[in-house]
Structure 1
Amino acid sequence: MVSIRRAAASDFTEIWPILHDIFSQWNTYVFPPDITVEEAYHIWMETPVAIYVALENAQIVGTYFLKPNQPGLGSHVCNAGYAVSSKARGKGIGQAMCEHSLKEAKTLGFKAMQYNFVVSTNQAAVNLWEKCGFNIVGRLPNAFNHKEIGFVDAYIMYQQLID
């Protein structure tokens, strides 16, 4: 069973291998594959408003963050980023984190959630986000340079959190 809690700075020693594995594959995130530990720490642990970890058997198997998508007059819409360990995929951890993030975003006062850059070839993520209530509201043609395929589209996905 997965549990989700707020992350502590000390959790980054377990978060970093998950991020490094995902970023180095060049197929789902825009971060450079050679990102340094320090750069990843800043992006994942310092910039967001809230960071969470998903645990299975007391080990971190996933993580996500929440942050305002834009400053000022756009700050009521949040953005989130998710990462699941390759060893834990297919166990519902991504869905559990998404559902948790939607509740946490409401608790933090956000009115909507927007994913700015969902790589179109990441069909598992697209399907999951749609299952969790997100809609594709925009397409960015050839916006992502996929390691194996070359330039592919990215989607903007959105969900209101208020009725």
Structure 2
Amino acid sequence: MSANAKDRPATASWEIREATAQDWPAIWEILEPVIRAGETFTWDRDTTEDQARAKWFKTAPGRTFVAVGTGRFDGVVLGTGELHANQGGGGSHVANAGYMVRAGYGGQGAARALCAYSLDAARAAGFRAMQFNAVVESNVRAVAAWQAMGFEILATIPEAFRHPRLGYVGLHVMYRKL
């Protein structure tokens, strides 16, 4: 699946594909430090590997995917994402997604590529919009990336996230039509 031109990062050195069970060790290598740091995701910092796997791997119409490096990063899982319905029932037409990038590989466009992939996947699955429920306002790179991808901040819930270094910071609700 290729991203729409307006959603695609300027450069890419990876291939994004559906994740398999064999990808789990590499995905866990990405998720664990992010979860333990407790700075960007609302997951409990003591989430176990089994809990993380159950939470990250989605079933249809949701999906889990990976960005696998090419060229100088050949075969390295550089990032991962997951896509699912934000709500059930009457809200099931709005998607939600999350992304994590391997430590040391941030700022190279992998998160934007994962986002673009999920936007295409959401459109293909019949979702009409995508919503991020909890973008930590101190995660300024992510906020800027999602805004560049067409998301707008609908609201900021003050002091809704307890950051381990900064204390209580806001959580943005971000949205974009597909």
- Scaled by the length of structure 1, what TM-score is found? 0.96
| Higher RCO (C-alpha 8 Å, min separation 6) | 2
% identity of equivalent residues:
39
Q: Does 1:151 align with 2:164?
A: no
Query: 2:142, 2:35 → 1: CA distance?
Result: 15
User: Mapping of 1:11-50 within 5 angstroms?
Assistant: 11-46=23-58, 49-50=62-63
What residue ranges of structure 1 are gaps of 5+ in the alignment? none
Query: 2:176, 2:170 → 1: CA distance?
Result: 20
Farther-moved stretch of structure 1 (4-13 vs 117-126): 4-13
8 Å CA contact 1:143, 1:151 repeated in 2:
yes
Equivalent residue pairs, number: 161
8 Å CA contact 1:9, 1:45 repeated in 2:
no
What residue ranges of structure 2 are gaps of 5+ in the alignment? 1-12
Amino acid at match of 2:63: A
Amino acid at match of 1:112: A
Shift of the 11–130 alpha-carbon distance from structure 1 to 2, 3 Å rule, reads same
User: Mapping of 1:6-155 within 5 angstroms?
Assistant: 6-46=18-58, 49-56=62-69, 57-155=74-172
- Scaled by the length of structure 2, what TM-score is found? 0.88
Give CA deviations for 1:23-62 in whole Å, capped at 9, x if unaligned: 1111100111111001000100146710000011111110
Q: Does 1:160 align with 2:173?
A: no
